[in-house]
Amino acid sequence: MAQRLKTDWFLFWTVISLAFFGLVIIFSASLPKTELMHISQFYFMAKQAALIGVGVVCLMGLKRLDYRKLNRPEWAFGLMGVMLTMLVAVYFLDSHHHRWIRVPGFQLQPSELAKPALAIFLAWFVTRRISAINSRYTLGPAALVIGVLAVLVLAGDMGTMAVLMITVAAVFYVAGISPRYAAMALAALMVIGVVGIAAKPYRLRRVVHFVDPSYELLDKADASGRVKAWLENSMSTRDPNYQARQSVIAVGSGGLFGLGLMHGKQKMLYVPEAHTDFIYSVIGEELGLFGCAGVLTAFMVILWRGLRLFWMAPDDFGKYLALAVTVCFTVQALINISVVLDLGPTKGIPLPLISYGGTSMLSSLVSLGLLLSVSERAG
Amino acid sequence: MEAYADHPARHRVRWLARFALLWAVGIGARLLFLQAFSHEEFRDLARQQQTKLRQLAAPRGSIFDRAGRILALSVPVETVIVNPLQLPDRPLAAQLLARTLEIDEAKLRDRLETYANARKGYMVVDKGVSVEKADRLRQLGVDWIGFESNGVRRYPDGALAAHVLGGVDHQARGNAGIERHFEDDLGGYPGYEWVVSDVQRRSFDSSIEKAPQAGRDVVLTIDRRIQYAADEAIREAVASSMADSGTAVALDPNTGEILALSNYPTYDPNEVPKSTADYVARKNLAATDPFEPGSIFKVFGLAAALETTDIRPDTVLHCGNGTINVGGHIIGEAHGGFAYLTVEEIIAKSSNVGAVKIALKTGDKNLHDYLLRFGFNQTTGVEMPSESQGLIFRLKRWQPGSIGSVAIGHEVLTTSLQLARGLAAIANNGFLIRPHLTRARPLGEVTLRNVVYQPEQNEQPRRILRPETAMTLRKVMESVVLTGTGKGIRLDGYSCGGKTGTAKLFDKTIGKYVSRYNASFMGFAPVTNPAVVVVVTLNGTRQYGATAAGPAFKQITQTALRVLNVPQDLTDPAPAAEPVPERIVADVAVTSTPLKTPEAMQQEMEAEQGPATAIAVGPKLPNFVGKTARAVLDEAMQAGIRVDIEGSGIARVQDPPAGGRLASGQHVKVRFQP
């Protein structure tokens, strides 16, 4: 039966507006950096615009595609397999950060692309085992796949790992996982998390600094000061909270209406990475409370339109696909904003749809393409 | 599947949504806190790290002589600065800068490294760079060199009028003379600009907080030509009389305008003092160094006598054949002794005994009163710092022998400037004028705007002598040069009068007066209506007043009369100078042991008046500590206080502290730290 397609234009235009709004902010935020690098001031903006173009084509394509075609093991495992392979590859190719694969003119970040792949995998898996979600034959394989993914992502990108794992947790929570297994999963995740943090001193330092900025507790716990010395020597920058502190100054100095587009001053290299992970601080400084609230509201709109599909999608695969995509997208936005406002330790994840970064933009638009595909065929 | 209405999964999704919403509300609250409630705090924090307050120098006013000829001006120079963090190639930059600026390359390279290692983004390469050199650097067209323009003080005539002009310190602030006295006016008010810079201290924007206010100009009463003559005359006189130092003051007795003021040793205000001798040379002896005047002081005693007793110039007094005992204190003559002399002859021959007799007739009180009337024991109010007021003891402290000493110019301390003022009253028929150095505007066609001039309020010259007393005194003083100790001091085409003086110097190491003198001549010309009064003093010579100071007086007075275009009152040229026998010239004020040594008097003077230093004036300083630079500046501008700002952030230290007062020309230093 030919179904009448109904595009969620509200969601669609919110997404497109955010992407183009991001372009403008990227232009403003990257000005000092382009000046420092002696390159065209449109360099970052132009690259981002090209990727938005590619991303929107993907989005339109996925929107047309019937998502139910993806409800097959070959897609679920195939995509996941490709992701895991790429993550293994990136571990060796990028020996320092384990994060980027250098392609000429472009840097691919597999952990970003893992998001839509994970969403499809979760949706397929949960739908398949919805009646036996608490069976060990369900959870065993799932834990295996997800555990491998977590460890591989963790190697390079703790923030993205957190986003992915929160998505997994949300999906299994909705699917009705028993508290017992939930607790076990949580414990496992925490072990992975603690190991991940401790493995990289800079992460540990960020966390310690966030919890205990003046090392008061640490001094009590570790009288010899050995841990402190190790932490102090482990990082090139003197102040691990520098980024967050500067970004809070930027946001605070924006006030209600901001200093005006292009008039931000904190982006003059006071806030490092102003055009990528900390772009929300530029919005705060230049557009003030209204700009910040507007962006936050836009993400909430996407959350609303996404979760709404859990009621409206015609099948379980659609419901869980929409849920996974929405949670993944929104959680990343909320975490990023929280970090910029110094509500959590620095992670290094971009603000979806707005931050400069090709893979992230592509991944976001692909995810939202899946969401739109579900919504076309909903209700 | 459609029986989902209250399926637990939907319930759980609602919980997820609530959780996300709560998170968003938390973020919203944080935004509200940052951007609405604490906005100002963060705005200040941002401004503090992004902007620096930089001072903009105000062009310093110029100094002109009475005819509008320039004596001091500020020449624009530039300060070359670089940002060591931004240099593409430090050794190359050092080479380039060092060659153009002609400075040491290795040192510059080291400094660049040091600054770069300390992460400092602002380094002064060289100060006082000529505009031409700076332009050569500009033409390189590189963006890492910065320029700041400021001025360097230049005195085109070198040492001319050095002590009047004073000089400026390394921060271009007046530290002596007119430059110091009018520092606030000459210096103008520096402006300030906020420079916005990025984290590497590259400035990309600036806004003027306050535009600099140019300094005002000063027009002096000094005439460059008379000053030149005075400088030359006093230099020659010091050399020919083998004196240690000398001073000359020439003023217009009718207005009090100082036409020339000269000291030797002198200095070139363009140069930075390097040795102790350089600092000694900077002392403005004419205004700050009081001395025992000796015989020239007899004139003022005679003035008191003429006004208060029946003594007239033809009154005959017996001069004790050479000595007189005043209160157990023996006073003798310089040369031999006199029997009967008229009062006129007493002054002409400078008889010590005669002068003492006149004083005894006048009495302590009258003599004391008249000395004060002549303005001794008080500053003249001339526009120069650290003026001394000299010393006349209070009457209560006069001992029985004091009157004898005072009559011949001992036990008193006067400055050359005070003597000139006293003599001016005799020259202008009895008015005490205020010697001053500034005019409202220059003579002639020259017009200057924005000139500093502060006439004293109610500046009515005070009458201190009857006109006939003054005329009589001038006649008496004319006889000094016609027949007396000043014989031979004659001018071409002008009559003149004066008085010689030779005061023995007191050597404190042996506690005695020695045969080294303070040799002076003070005089006026022409006699009937004097246009100029000149006081010349040579310190530490072995010659008598007339011999040592006479030629300088002649030279200065002659020049002044010519420059001032005074009509001649004599048709004859001056008689050819003939050697005058020493016994005629001799006019040493001889006392036995001093009642009060000059050192003791100096100490008492300072004890009574405080040391001659800059007097703290101006408003009480507010407390700047704990305030932002902006607040400090606002407050300082309102109170008219100059502030030197160091660092940035919050004011931590101020010098002088709150409640103190500033000396004229002094600035408050305020150090800021974040």
Co-location of A95 and A174 in the same domain = yes
pLDDT confidence tier of residue B615, bands split at 50, 70 and 90: very low
User: Does residue A373 lie within any of the structural domains?
Assistant: yes
Co-location of A229 and A261 in the same domain = no
User: Does residue A204 lie within any of the structural domains?
Assistant: no
Contacts of A242 (CB under 8 A, 6+ apart): A272
User: Looking at residue A213, what is its pLDDT?
Assistant: 72
Cα of B526 vs its chain's centroid, Å: 31
Please indicate whether residue B151 or residue B32 has the higher confidence score (pLDDT). B32
Chain A residues within 8 A of B203 when measuring between CB atoms = none
Determine what percent of chain B is predicted with pLDDT higher than 90.
Answer: 43
Of B8, B23, B42, the CB nearest to A253: B42
pLDDT confidence tier of residue A46, bands split at 50, 70 and 90: very high
Chain A residues within 8 A of B22 when measuring between CB atoms = none
Q: How far apart are CA B520 and CA B248, in angstroms?
A: 10
Q: How far apart are CA B577 and CA B592, in angstroms?
A: 35
Co-location of A281 and A331 in the same domain = yes
CB-based burial label for A202 (10 Å; 0-12, 13-18, 19+): middle
User: Looking at residue B530, what is its pLDDT?
Assistant: 95
User: Does residue A116 lie within any of the structural domains?
Assistant: yes
User: Looking at residue B488, what is its pLDDT?
Assistant: 83
pLDDT surpassing 60 at residue A234: no
CB-based burial label for A69 (10 Å; 0-12, 13-18, 19+): exposed
Closest residue of chain B to A341, computed from CA coordinates: B30
Of A252, A296, A334, the CB nearest to B38: A252
User: Looking at residue B614, what is its pLDDT?
Assistant: 43
Query: What is the mean pLDDT of the segment spanning B513-526?
Result: 90
Co-location of A158 and A269 in the same domain = yes
Would you give the DSSP letter of residue B396? Answer: G
User: Looking at residue A240, what is its pLDDT?
Assistant: 64
R_g over Cα of chain A: 21
Could you tell me if B20 lies within 8 Å of chain A, comparing CB atoms? Answer: yes
Of B32, B42, B199, the CB nearest to A249: B42
Domain range for A219 is: 211-240
Query: What is the mean pLDDT of the segment spanning B501-510?
Result: 83
Interface of B with A in 49-68 (CB under 8 A): 49-50
User: Looking at residue B537, what is its pLDDT?
Assistant: 95
Query: What is the mean pLDDT of the segment spanning B178-207?
Result: 80
Compute how many other C-beta atoms are within 10 angstroms of the C-beta atom of residue B411: 26
Residues B255/B443, Cβ–Cβ less than 8 Å = no
Chain B residues within 8 A of A343 when measuring between CB atoms = 26-27, 30
B245: tokens are 């130092």
User: Looking at residue A230, what is its pLDDT?
Assistant: 66
User: Looking at residue B123, what is its pLDDT?
Assistant: 87
Return the CATH architecture of domain B53-220. Alpha-Beta Complex (3.90)
| Angle of CA points B276, B279, B280, to nearest 5° | 85
Of B1, B39, B46, the CB nearest to A266: B46
Q: Domain ends where: A187, A221, A240?
A: A240
User: Looking at residue B612, what is its pLDDT?
Assistant: 45
User: Looking at residue B610, what is its pLDDT?
Assistant: 52
- Candidates B11, B25, B38, B42, partner chain A, best to mutate (most A CBs within 10 A): B42
- Greatest mean pLDDT among A93-97, B470-474, B605-609: B470-474
Residue B145 pairs in a beta bridge with B82
Residues B651/B55, Cβ–Cβ less than 8 Å = no
Q: Do B46 and A253 touch (CB under 8 A)?
A: yes
Strands B63-64 and B217-220: parallel
Q: Do A251 and B43 touch (CB under 8 A)?
A: no
pLDDT confidence tier of residue A360, bands split at 50, 70 and 90: very high
Closest residue of chain B to A335, computed from CA coordinates: B23
Co-location of A125 and A222 in the same domain = no
CA distance A263 to chain B (A): 11
Co-location of A230 and A337 in the same domain = no
Does residue A71 sit in helix, strand or coil? coil
Closest residue of chain B to A287, computed from CA coordinates: B35
Q: Domain ends where: A188, A219, A240?
A: A240
User: Looking at residue B538, what is its pLDDT?
Assistant: 95
pLDDT surpassing 70 at residue B592: no
Across chain B, mean pLDDT equals: 86
Please indicate whether residue A211 or residue A358 has the higher confidence score (pLDDT). A358
A12: tokens are 């669609």
Q: How far apart are CA A281 and CA A252, in angstroms?
A: 9
Query: What is the mean pLDDT of the segment spanning B456-481?
Result: 87
Q: Do A269 and B198 touch (CB under 8 A)?
A: yes
Closest residue of chain A to B11, computed from CA coordinates: A174
pLDDT tens string B44-102: 888 888 887 777 878 889 999 998 899 999 888 888 888 887 777 888 888 888 888 88
Q: Do A330 and B20 touch (CB under 8 A)?
A: yes
Of B24, B34, B49, the CB nearest to A248: B34
Does residue B140 sit in helix, strand or coil? coil
Q: Do A253 and B45 touch (CB under 8 A)?
A: yes
User: Looking at residue A290, what is its pLDDT?
Assistant: 95
pLDDT surpassing 60 at residue A1: no
User: Looking at residue B189, what is its pLDDT?
Assistant: 85
How many domains would you assign to chain A?
2
Chain B residues within 8 A of A311 when measuring between CB atoms = 4, 10
pLDDT surpassing 80 at residue B150: no
User: Looking at residue B577, what is its pLDDT?
Assistant: 64
Backbone angles phi, psi at A191, to 5 degrees: -60, -50
Q: Which of A49-63, A153-167, B345-359 has the lowest mean pLDDT?
A: A153-167
Q: Which of A263-267, B175-179, B245-249, B313-317 has the lowest mean pLDDT?
A: A263-267
- Can you state the percent helix, strand and coil of chain A, rounding each to 5? 70, 0, 25
Residues B381/B436, Cβ–Cβ less than 8 Å = yes
CA distance B25 to chain A (A): 10
Co-location of A222 and A95 in the same domain = no
| Domains in chain B: boundaries | 2-37, 53-220, 224-268+287-609, 613-674
Would you give the DSSP letter of residue A288? Answer: H
Co-location of A306 and A171 in the same domain = yes
Enumerate chain A positions whose Cβ falls within 8 A of a Cβ in B.
Answer: 32, 170, 173-176, 248-256, 265-266, 268-270, 284, 288-289, 292-293, 296, 299-300, 303-304, 307, 310-311, 316, 323, 327, 330-331, 334, 337-338, 341, 343
Co-location of A224 and A345 in the same domain = no
Backbone angles phi, psi at A312, to 5 degrees: -100, -25
pLDDT tens string B375-393: 999 999 898 888 999 999 8
Cα of B442 vs its chain's centroid, Å: 21
Q: Do A334 and B24 touch (CB under 8 A)?
A: yes
B510: tokens are 């042996």
Of A255, A311, A338, the CB nearest to B27: A338
Of A175, A284, A311, the CB nearest to B10: A311
User: Looking at residue B202, what is its pLDDT?
Assistant: 65
Q: Do A296 and B21 touch (CB under 8 A)?
A: no
User: Looking at residue A98, what is its pLDDT?
Assistant: 77
pLDDT surpassing 80 at residue B459: no
Co-location of A225 and A89 in the same domain = no
Could you tell me if B23 lies within 8 Å of chain A, comparing CB atoms? Answer: yes
User: What CATH number does the domain located at B613-674 have?
Assistant: 3.30.10.20
pLDDT surpassing 50 at residue B2: no
Q: Do A270 and B200 touch (CB under 8 A)?
A: no
Q: Domain ends where: A219, A240, A261?
A: A240
Query: What is the mean pLDDT of the segment spanning B662-674?
Result: 72
pLDDT tens string A87-102: 888 888 887 777 788 7
Chain A residues within 8 A of B143 when measuring between CB atoms = none
pLDDT tens string B296-335: 999 999 999 999 999 999 999 998 888 898 888 888 888 7
| pTM of the entire predicted model | 0.66
Chain A residues within 8 A of B45 when measuring between CB atoms = 249, 252-253
User: Does residue A205 lie within any of the structural domains?
Assistant: no
**What is the DSSP annotation of A124-177?**
HHHHHTGGGTTSHHHHHHHHHHHHHHHHHHHHH-HHHHHHHHHHHHHHHHHHT-
User: Which CATH class name applies to B224-268+287-609?
Assistant: alpha beta
Of B31, B39, B50, the CB nearest to A265: B50
pLDDT tens string A311-332: 999 899 999 999 999 999 999 9
pLDDT surpassing 70 at residue B6: no
User: Does residue A288 lie within any of the structural domains?
Assistant: yes
Co-location of A158 and A259 in the same domain = yes
pLDDT tens string A183-197: 888 888 888 888 888
User: Does residue A3 lie within any of the structural domains?
Assistant: no
| Angle of CA points B421, B427, B428, to nearest 5° | 90
Interface of B with A in 188-227 (CB under 8 A): 196-200, 204
Chain B residues within 8 A of A269 when measuring between CB atoms = 198-200
Of B8, B26, B38, the CB nearest to A176: B8
Q: How far apart are CA B226 and CA B557, in angstroms?
A: 9
Residues A112/A276, Cβ–Cβ less than 8 Å = no
Of B8, B23, B198, the CB nearest to A268: B198
Strands B532-541 and B245-251: antiparallel
